[in-house]
Amino acid sequence: MTAGYRIVENARLDARNTFGVAARAPMLVEVSDTSALAELFGYAMLRDGPVLVLGGGSNLLFAGDAPGAVLALSSQRIDIIDNQDDAAIVRADAGVGWHDFVLWTLGHGLCGLENLALIPGTVGAAPIQNIGAYGVEVRDRIRAVHAYDRHDGRVVRIDAAECAFAYRDSLFKHDPDRYVVTAVEFALLRTPDLRLDYAGIREELAAMGIDGTPRASQVAEAVIRVRQRKLPDPALLGNAGSFFKNPIVPAATAETLQAAHPAMPLFRGSSDDTRKLSAAWLIDQCGWKGHRDGDAGVSAEHALVLVNHGHATGLELLDLARRIATSVQDRFGIAIEPEPRIIGATW
Ligand code: EPU
């Protein structure tokens, strides 16, 4: 054990990806103290080669082995760095589990992350794909991201406005080899600013017997109940949540499709002339829900979730994903793209 990190050679990654597929890395570096990053990036393998930063392993598919070193950050500090009467800035280390962090904030009377309860993964991974659920995206609550910048060889603080956040996207996704997120600053509220409009949330609160204005912790509980019902638990059935992003298309394309398929759900896009389609609905219409080829399958509860029933390989899951995308393209003329990062193959 060297101060601040631990190296494992030829490491197995099966238990470090929520699909539970077999994969290896030539070198796995567990980093408990991010001040060791400068020293680590002095080593040839990290300095010159590809480096994969692994959080909870809940948003990637190993279609092959990791091509170079894998970094896993385990730093766990959470600090309130600015405490006001009605708001607070909280800084959490990259290694903190996301759901544990959401519960920590609620336990400290801080609101804003309740709709993001039970999302797998870590705090450090949250800004990378701008995690979102039930009407909230994490960018709504992020003030800044701290990251080790491989170009500059030091930790930089990047203001939220500079992070290029968009639907399931950010600066960190565009340039995956440049930054290692080390901590995130969140701007949270003591008086809730609840978002209850996403389909199913008010109904769930009513089913819990809550009428009137719920507490933020009750909204989190409602979200947890909906997620547990709709999304398979990766601890029981390997999966990486939504495998495809909801496609964003020109409004005219969406309207033509909806005229042909009146039952098709349609959501607002990021601008007036775009719309977001439901990838789950498109896939469902093509008959994939519950489909299974050996151990690679599609969840019977949610058409957007690919599942590993036991010993599927990453390549088998990728092959299934490609066939799903081709069928959606052939039937609806819409290209759907994977949400998780694919390692060892290109889409
Ligand atoms: N639907 C189907 N068939 C299905 C499931 C859903 O037709 O099997 C249709 C229904 O009409 C439903 C609509 O799709 O109303 C939307 O479904 P859902 O509310 O489950 O949302 P989603 O668009 O499929 C997105 C996120 C999820 C997030 C939920 C809730 C993406 C790619 N996925 O799913 O995020 O939890 O909204 O906000 O944006 C993830 O990213 O891993 C993830 C799980």
Give mean pLDDT, residues 218-222.
Answer: 98
Percentage of the chain exceeding pLDDT 90: 97
Q: How far is the CA of 340 from the centre of ligand 1 (A)?
A: 15
Q: Give residue ranges with CB within 6 A of ligand 1.
A: 133-134, 198-199, 230-231, 241-242, 245-246, 265, 278, 280-281, 284, 289, 302-304, 339
The answer to whether residues 46 and 141 belong to one domain is no
Residues contacting 321, CB < 8 A, separation 6+:
243, 244, 306, 338
241 torsion bin: left (phi>0), alpha (psi -120 to 50), beta (else): left
Give mean pLDDT, residues 132-136.
Answer: 97
Number of domains the chain contains? 3
Statement: residue 1 has pLDDT above 70: no
What confidence tier does 40 reach under pLDDT thresholds 50, 70, 90? Answer: very high
Q: Write down the pLDDT at residue 271.
A: 87
69-113 confidence digits (pLDDT tens): 999 999 999 999 999 999 999 999 999 999 999 999 999 999 999
Q: Which of 32, 56, 73 is the last residue of a domain?
A: 73
Look up 339 and say whether it is catalytic.
Answer: yes
Give mean pLDDT, residues 288-298.
Answer: 98
Q: Which domain holds residue 54?
A: 5-73
Q: Write down the pLDDT at residue 176.
A: 86
Residue nearest to atom 15 of ligand 1 (CA): 265
Q: Write down the pLDDT at residue 2.
A: 56
Atom from ligand 1 closest to the CA of residue 200: 19
Q: Write down the pLDDT at residue 269.
A: 85
Look up 168 and say whether it is catalytic.
Answer: yes
In a domain, 28, yes or no: yes
In a domain, 254, yes or no: yes
Burial class, 310, CB count within 10 angstroms (exposed 0-12 / middle 13-18 / buried 19+): exposed
Query: Which of 124-133, 200-209, 251-260, 265-274 is least confident?
Result: 265-274
Atom from ligand 1 closest to the CA of residue 302: 8
Q: How far is the CA of 280 from the centre of ligand 1 (A)?
A: 6
Give mean pLDDT, residues 228-253.
Answer: 97
| CA–CA separation, 185 and 81 (whole Å) | 9
Look up 35 and say whether it is catalytic.
Answer: no
Q: Which of 149, 167, 189 is the last residue of a domain?
A: 189
Residue nearest to atom 23 of ligand 1 (CA): 278
Atom from ligand 1 closest to the CA of residue 265: 11
The answer to whether residues 95 and 39 belong to one domain is no
- From the list 16, 143, 168, 275, the catalytic residue is 168
Show the tokens assigned to 124. 């450090």
Residue located via tokens 């009137």: 212
| CA–CA separation, 59 and 171 (whole Å) | 17
Residue nearest to atom 16 of ligand 1 (CA): 278
In a domain, 169, yes or no: yes
Statement: residue 66 has pLDDT above 60: yes
Statement: residue 144 has pLDDT above 90: yes
Which residue, 153, 166, 137, 341, is CA-closest to 271? Answer: 166
Q: Give the number of other Cβ atoms within 10 Å of residue 7's Cβ.
A: 14
Give mean pLDDT, residues 221-248.
Answer: 97
Q: Which of 43, 73, 103 is the last residue of a domain?
A: 73
Statement: residue 227 has pLDDT above 60: yes
**Mean pLDDT (the chain, rounded):** 96
The enclosing domain of 289 has a CATH number of: 3.90.78.10
